[in-house]
Structure 1
Amino acid sequence: MRLPLLITLLLTALPAVGQELRIPPVDYPVLPASATSAAGFVPAGWRIEQQLSGDLNGDKRDDLVLVLRQQDPRNIVVHDGFGISPLDSNPRLLAIALATQDGYALAAQNHTLITRHEAPNLSDVFEDGAGVSIVRGTLRTTLFFFSNAGSWSTGSASFTFRWQDGAFALIGYDRSSLMRNSGQTEDLSINYSTRRVRHAEGSTDADRETVRWETLTSPRRWTLETVGDGSSFEPLADAEGG
C-alpha cells in the first residue's frame, strides 16, 4: 500500500551529510487572553508573518487571524550537508481572536498544524504554500510539500475549520499529490460534515481520472487542537484512540 504523500515526504527527509542536524527545542509562549489590537498578541521575539480579518463566528464583526513566527537566530541552522543551508527552523504560531466590544478575545492558539521546518531536503510548508485564508466564514490553512531529494512527490493539503461548540472543528480536508517522475496524480477530498470521501486518480498525460466515493464510518471528530502536525495528519483514521 502506498504511504500517504505527507508521511512519505517526512520519512524521506535526509540528515545533513557530515554532521547531525540539531534543531533547537522551543518553549512556546502563552498568548494573552485578550488584546485591543493584533500587536497585543505578539510575544517578545516573535513577529506577525500573516494577518487576516473576517467574520468567523457569524456575529458580523471582523475577527482576527494571525500567523506568528519566532525570530530567534539560534533556530537558523547552518550545516555542510545536503539541502537548504542555512535552515530557518523558527516555528510558527497560529492565533485566532474573536472580536469583542473592547477589542479581541483569544479563541485558539496552535503551534502544531503548521509544521516546523526541520528537514533541509523539504520545502517550508507555509512559506511556499497558500498559507491561511478566510473562506465564507471558515478558516482554511494550506500546506505545500516539495522534496528536493529523496522523493518525487509534491503536493498540498488544506484544512478547513469552522467555529462551532466553542472550538474550531475540522469540516473539510483536501489533499492533492503529483509524482513528478511519472505524472501520476492523486486527490483526496473529505467533507466531515456529510461524512463523504472522494478519491481520484489520474495522470498529467491523460484527461480522464478514476473517481470513487466512500462514506466515513468512524464517528471521530477533529478540531484544530486534535489534528496535530499537519504534515503527518491521517485524515481517514478510525475512532481508535480518539
Structure 2
Amino acid sequence: MRQLITTIFLLTLNFVCGQEFTYPSIINQGKDIDSFIPNGWTLLDSTRGDLNNDNQNDLVLIIQYKDSVTLINNEFDYKDTVLTQPRILIILFQNKETNQYQLLEQSNSFILNHDNPEMEDPYQDISISNGFLKIDFQISMNMDGWGMSNNSYKFRYQDNQFVLIGADYNSVNQCSRETEDRSYDFLTQKVKVAKGTIESKKKEIEWWTIDIKELKTIKTFKQPFTWEVEKGFYL
C-alpha cells in the first residue's frame, strides 16, 4: 500500500506543541552522562564513538521524560491530543584537554515519541561507525498489521553541523508479500530502488536521480517521515 498509508499519516501528524510542558535547555558542558540528564528525565539510549575525527570518544544520548504528558496537535488544521513521554536527542563532543563533554546538538523533535498504543515504539537504535551517526526507526502495528517499514538515517559532522548524507527505507507488505527497498545517497543525489517479494531473492533494481537543492541537517530536518523527498514519498 502507498508507503504504509504515508507512514501512518505521518505518524498521526506528530508535530505537536504542548500546553504546559516545555522542553529543558541542556547544559553546555559536563563530565558524564548524568550531567546532561535534567530532573524529571531518564536515559533511554546512548552510544559512543568518534564523530569529528579527533580520536575522542564522543557521546550521543536519547533521554525521555519520566511522566506522560498531554500534547496538542495543530498540524494542517487537524487538532487532537496525544499522551506521550517526550524525548530529546543530545550530541556531545569529548574535549581531550578538559576531559569534559561539550554540547553540540539538541533536538526535541527528531526522536519519535511512542504516542500510539496500536503501534510498536517507532524508535529502534542509534549507533556510531566510521564517523557516521546512524538513527533507526520502525513503523509496525501491534495487531492486524498489514505492513512494516524500517527507516535509517545517516548523519556526518561537517561544516559545524550534522548533515544527512544518506537514508534507507525497507518495507514489506504482509498481504501481498511484496518488498521495497530504497537507498538514498544525498551527496551524489542518487537513489537505488529494489522491488521483490518475501519468497524470492530476485529483485528488480532501478536507479534514478533526485533533485536535492540543499542537504538536510538535524536542525532543518525536524522529524522523520515529514520530508517529501520524492513526489508522494516521505522520509
Q: TM-score, normalised by structure 2?
A: 0.83
State the partner residue of 2:108: 111
The 3 A distance-change label for structure 1 pair 117 and 26 is farther
Post-superposition offset of 1:35: 1.0
CA distance in 2, matches of 1:12, 1:168: 24
The 8 Å contact of residues 9 and 153 in structure 1, kept in 2 or not, is answered as no
Match of 2:41 among 46, 50, 54: 46
The 8 Å contact of residues 115 and 231 in structure 1, kept in 2 or not, is answered as no
CA distance in 1, matches of 2:118, 2:20: 20
Give the residue type in structure 1 aligned to 2:6: I
CA distance in 2, matches of 1:6, 1:29: 34
Task: Please show how residues 52-201 of structure 1 align to structure 2 within 5 Å.
Answer: 52-74=47-69, 89-100=84-95, 101-102=97-98, 103-126=100-123, 129=124, 131-148=125-142, 152-201=146-195
CA distance in 1, matches of 2:27, 2:144: 41
The 3 A distance-change label for structure 1 pair 196 and 11 is closer
Give the residue type in structure 2 aligned to 1:45: G
Greater fraction of residues in strand = 2
Give the residue type in structure 2 aligned to 1:3: R
CA offsets 1:97-145 (integer angstroms, 9 cap, x no match): 111122011000112122112222221111xx2x100021110000011
CA distance in 2, matches of 1:234, 1:149: 28
Q: TM-score, normalised by structure 1?
A: 0.80
Post-superposition offset of 1:232: 3.0
The 8 Å contact of residues 6 and 145 in structure 1, kept in 2 or not, is answered as no
Q: Name the SS of the counterpart of 2:7 in structure 1.
A: helix
Post-superposition offset of 1:182: 1.3
CA offsets 1:21-46 (integer angstroms, 9 cap, x no match): xx976311110011111111111101
Q: Name the SS of the counterpart of 2:223 in structure 1.
A: coil
The 3 A distance-change label for structure 1 pair 219 and 232 is closer
Count of paired positions: 214
Q: Name the SS of the counterpart of 2:61 in structure 1.
A: strand
**Gapped runs of 5+ residues in structure 2?**
13-17, 71-81
Post-superposition offset of 1:74: 4.5
Greater Cα shift, 102-111 or 142-151: 142-151
Post-superposition offset of 1:53: 1.3
Give the residue type in structure 2 aligned to 1:7: T
Give the residue type in structure 2 aligned to 1:199: V
The 8 Å contact of residues 7 and 225 in structure 2, kept in 1 or not, is answered as no
The 3 A distance-change label for structure 1 pair 44 and 199 is same
Q: Name the SS of the counterpart of 2:219 in structure 1.
A: helix
The 8 Å contact of residues 6 and 232 in structure 1, kept in 2 or not, is answered as no
Q: Name the SS of the counterpart of 1:120 in structure 2.
A: coil
CA distance in 2, matches of 1:118, 1:37: 30
The 8 Å contact of residues 21 and 69 in structure 2, kept in 1 or not, is answered as no
The 8 Å contact of residues 63 and 87 in structure 2, kept in 1 or not, is answered as yes
CA distance in 2, matches of 1:217, 1:132: 28
Post-superposition offset of 1:221: 1.1
CA distance in 2, matches of 1:26, 1:178: 37
Q: Name the SS of the counterpart of 1:227 in structure 2.
A: coil
State the partner residue of 1:8: 7
**Gapped runs of 5+ residues in structure 1?**
14-22, 76-86, 238-242
Q: Name the SS of the counterpart of 2:35 in structure 1.
A: helix
